[in-house]
Amino acid sequence: MAMTQRLALGQRQAIQRERQLQAQWLVEAGISRATAKLRDDRQYAGELWQLTAQELGDRWEGRVEIQVGPSDAVDQTRIRVVAVYPTQGRLSIREENEVLVQISSEANSP
């Protein structure tokens, strides 16, 4: 493999890794967002959170789908987050995670 081919391949791999890390960060941000919203509103069921390139400080947009629902565990709520970054193009990365969180029942008490 020629030197220029190796450099081009290395650059593509670095860009792909950067996109993957951004998608993972968006998943974590989605989990944090859902947890905070659940503390304020126990009826929060999730959302589709669109982030502009400007909001991300980047050249690409991101999308985070948050789903909130019951779990089999007592006093826990299931949060499932799927992030796509960038939202356009064949090189988009899709990352997801599902967690169980315990939200205090005192969150909406007067």
User: Which of the residue ranges 8-12, 16-20, 33-37 has the most confident prediction, judged by mean pLDDT?
Assistant: 33-37
106 token code pair: 């005192």
How many independent structural domains does the chain possess?
1
79 token code pair: 């949060």
46-68 pLDDT tens trace: 999 999 999 999 889 999 999 99
62-104 pLDDT tens trace: 999 999 999 888 889 999 999 999 998 888 999 999 999 998 7
Q: Tell me, what CATH number does 56's domain have?
A: 3.30.1300
Domain interval for residue 83: 3-108
41 token code pair: 């509103």
Q: How far is C-alpha 57 from the geometric centre of its chain's CA atoms?
A: 16
The whole-model pTM stands at 0.83
> pLDDT at position 89, please?
83
pLDDT at 106 over 60: no
Residue 57 falls in which region: left (phi positive, over 0), alpha (psi -120 to 50) or beta: left
